[in-house]
Structure 1
Amino acid sequence: MFSNYKPTWMVDAIYKVTPEQLNKHGIKAVLTDLDNTLIAWNNPDGTDELRIWLESMKKANIPVIVVSNNNAERVGRALQAFELDYVARALKPFAKGINKACKDLGVEKDAIVMVGDQIMTDIRAANRSGVKSILVRPVIDTDSWKTQLNRMMERKIMKYLLNKHPEMKWQGEIK
């Protein structure tokens, strides 16, 4: 029933995903949500950990594109210091934004992964578009009011998925 929300992997944080892990799974590009995945939703400055992670992806020639439901002004302002491409108003949980990013990359979908902190938007959109997905824990425990509504439903879906798929466990890396 809720299998469309099942992530490929569950990792504690995006920063724990390394180029070596991605290469092992044939991943050549990363799509990522913005708020509470890369940065705290209420602090667009990012962290040193984010800068180090982005540099490791750049050195490994693994492009990173942000796919966000936020408007272009918000996403552009948040990413200004990081020099990342992005797709704004992605309309997740629909596949539109992910499909656009995949087309822009020119990489086959089986070599792309979407990383996000919400199964209702990020993981559902990844599954709809046919790319692998990594569910990460939110960077901080608070959410914007819009996301709080999703989190209530998300808890029910996760409970169902964890009961049906006991292999779903939080990991320190993708295995």
Structure 2
Amino acid sequence: MFSNYKPTWMVDAIYQITPLQLKKMGIKAVLTDLDNTLIAWNNPDGTQELLNWILEMKNAGIPVVVVSNNKSSRVKRAIQQFELDYVARALKPFARGIRSAQKKLNLSNDEVVMVGDQIMTDIRGANRAGIRSILVKPIVDTDGWNTQINRFFERKIMRSLVKKHPEMKWRGGLE
């Protein structure tokens, strides 16, 4: 019933995804949500751990593109210090923003992955775009008011998915 919301992988945090793991899966680029995936929604400055992860990806030749439903000024301000490309107002769960980022990279569906903390936007959008997805745990337990509504429904969807797919478990990486 909720198979459109099923992630390909479930990883504790984006920082546990390594270039080696991605390359083993044939993935050449990472599309990622912003709030509660890369940075805490209420702390737009990020962390040293995030900076280290981005540098690790860049050094491995794996581009990271932020795909966010936020307005451009918010995304730009949050990621300017990281020098990442982005697509704002992505309209996830629709595939438009994800496809736009993929087009910038000129990569096939098998060569990109979408990482996000919400199954109703990030994972559903990835599935609509026909690309693999990685669900990560939110960086902080609090959310903006609009995301709190999604979280209520996500809990119900996740219970149903885990019951139907017992292999869905949180892991420390893609392997």
CA deviation map 1:68-100 (0-9, x unaligned):
000000000001111000000000000000000
C-alpha separation in 2, matches of 1:104 and 1:56: 21
Partner of 1:129 in structure 2? 129
Q: CA deviation at 1:4?
A: 0.2
For the residue of structure 1 that corresponds to 2:22, the secondary structure is helix
C-alpha separation in 1, matches of 2:59 and 2:86: 19
CA deviation map 1:114-140 (0-9, x unaligned):
000000000000000011000000000
Partner of 2:81 in structure 1? 81
Partner of 2:23 in structure 1? 23
Check if 1:54 corresponds to 2:54. Answer: yes
Q: CA deviation at 1:109?
A: 1.1
For the residue of structure 2 that corresponds to 1:134, the secondary structure is strand
For the residue of structure 1 that corresponds to 2:113, the secondary structure is strand
RMSD of Structure 2 on Structure 1 (CA): 0.4
Partner of 1:44 in structure 2? 44
Q: CA deviation at 1:28?
A: 0.3
Q: Map 1:23-172; keep pairs closer than 5 Å.
A: 23-172=23-172
The amino acid across from 1:149 in the alignment is: I
C-alpha separation in 1, matches of 2:56 and 2:95: 28
The amino acid across from 1:124 in the alignment is: R
Q: CA deviation at 1:168?
A: 0.3
C-alpha separation in 2, matches of 1:25 and 1:39: 25
TM-score (norm 1): 1.00
In structure 2, stretches of 5+ residues that fail to align are: none
Partner of 1:8 in structure 2? 8
Q: Which runs of 4+ in 1 moved over 2 A?
A: none
The amino acid across from 1:71 in the alignment is: K
C-alpha separation in 1, matches of 2:55 and 2:82: 10
CA deviation map 1:22-52 (0-9, x unaligned):
0010000000000000000000000000000
C-alpha separation in 1, matches of 2:77 and 2:149: 25
The amino acid across from 2:169 in the alignment is: K
The amino acid across from 2:51 in the alignment is: R
C-alpha separation in 2, matches of 1:110 and 1:21: 14
